[in-house]
Amino acid sequence: MLISLRDALSRIMPIAQCAAEYETVAFDEALGRVIAEDVRSPHDVPPFDRAAMDGYAVRGEDTFGASPENPIKLRRASGLVREREYMPVQTGMKMPDGANAVVMLEHAKEHKGILDVFMPTPPGRNVSLKGEDVKKGEIIIKSGKILNAYDIGLLASICKTEVKVRKMPEVGILATGDEIFDPRERRERSGGERSGGMIPDSNSYVLSALLSSIARPELLGIVSDEIERLKVAISDALRSCDVLLMTGGSSVGERDLVEDALENMGGNIIFHGVAIRPGEPVGFAVVRDKPVFMLPGYPVAAISAFELIVKPFLMCGVDTCMKIPAIAARNIPSSAGRTDFVRVRLYESDDMIYASPVRLSGSGILSSMTKSDGYILIEDEKEGVEKGEKVIVHLLSYQPRSDPFIQP
């Protein structure tokens, strides 16, 4: 009944690609967006040969044979630099016509329009050639990149004021379960009285925060475990959202009302149960042409399913995660036939980075996420990782940390 992570992704990715939409936005509103066009440089950078050092623009040939004992004397040019002439230049300035090298300040001495050069400076030395950094027409931002602050600056610098980007989907988050309540309700009610369950809903808030950089999340509240109420809530959600995430209700227990409700509405259950751990009860359905994810109720299981399945779907496969290699600090057991999502903490020793699994007892333990630097995946064909083995650590969601794991 369980399918592999690979199978799950191969079933949902075509749906993700079909659903991708695009829009054009102002460049200064494109931070963090996935660009959907190649951007080419409209000109050479530098646009002309320019001085790469403060000093004196010369014809390099004129300086051959120069030495502190036998300095070569050059005259100050007026305009064009001719044979045995020089012109003072600052870093970044256009090279004067005729000059092809820059003698560094410390290799010459200027006095009353005469320059003593102490060091041979061959043609090309200390000059940035036209187009050296970026050639006209060269791609400077590739389609599919997530635009960062420097990209925004690069767009400004070429006056590209609009860019085509992938639309951010509206993602509804609907929590289910009689046992949970919205922690915000506490604020509004007096005396701590509350309707509903005993466990605060944290999943909705974690998912909303994780989504905030890649989609437009919308919290849709909590529905109780009654099939008719579920159907009404799902119907409402599908009217306003492009994608729906449901948490809870998809646990290992016998009844699964969420799946029943989705089927009842004519939905097509693409899969329900993936060999990942935690996160096994994750499911995916298409209902009224909209993608619906069923996520487990246990917080870390929901996060694992989100990172491994929902995020690749929403990003259409664009990888948002930085990865670094590390050494397993301990044996990490795992069973063949499933993919393990193992939270790790990183530390440094003897110039190597070690990844140590964050061992906490259940997939309900959110604090295991806040204590982690990232996660490793143990693929389904592998039976665990041995101490000393190399692993690839996925740094978690680029959340900045105030306690960097390595202090210089």
Of 180, 386, 168, 145, which is closest to residue 302 (Cα–Cα)? 180
Q: Does 79 engage in binding with a second copy (CB under 8 A)?
A: no
Strand arrangement, sheet containing 114-117:
101-104, 55-58, 85-89, 72-76, 114-117, 108-111
| Total of residues contacting a second copy (CB under 8 A) | 97
| Residue whose CB is less far from a second copy, 22 or 64 | 22
Q: What is the SS3 assignment for 51?
A: strand
Which phi and psi angles does 253 have, rounded to 5°? Answer: -60, 170
Distance CA 394, CA 240 (A): 33
Q: Does 187 engage in binding with a second copy (CB under 8 A)?
A: yes
| Residue whose CB is less far from a second copy, 26 or 114 | 26
CB of 15 to a second copy, least distance (A): 21
Residues 111-130 that bind a second copy (CB under 8 A): 128
Q: Side chain identity at 148, as an amino acid letter?
A: N
| Strands 290-295 and 243-247, sheet pairing | parallel
Residues 315-334 that bind a second copy (CB under 8 A): 318-325
CB of 16 to a second copy, least distance (A): 15
Stretch that binds a second copy, among 3-11, 111-119, 180-188, 268-276 (CB under 8 A): 180-188
Residues 5-34 that bind a second copy (CB under 8 A): 26-28, 31-32, 34
Residues 367-396 that bind a second copy (CB under 8 A): 367-370, 377, 390, 392, 395-396
Q: Does 48 engage in binding with a second copy (CB under 8 A)?
A: no
**Do 374 and 395 touch, CB atoms closer than 8 A?**
yes
Q: Does 172 engage in binding with a second copy (CB under 8 A)?
A: no
79, 124, 137, 362: residue in contact with a second copy (rule CB under 8 A): 362
> Tokens 């950094």 appear where?
133
| Residue whose CB is less far from a second copy, 121 or 203 | 203
CB of 48 to a second copy, least distance (A): 12
Q: Is the dihedral of CA 229, 16, 278, 338 positive or negative?
A: positive
Q: Does 190 engage in binding with a second copy (CB under 8 A)?
A: no
4, 44, 205, 229: residue in contact with a second copy (rule CB under 8 A): 205
Buried-exposed string 8-25: b where 16+ CB fall within 10 A, e elsewhere = bbeebeeebeebeeeeee
Which tokens is 16 given? 């993700």
Distance CA 187, CA 201 (A): 14
Q: Does 78 engage in binding with a second copy (CB under 8 A)?
A: no
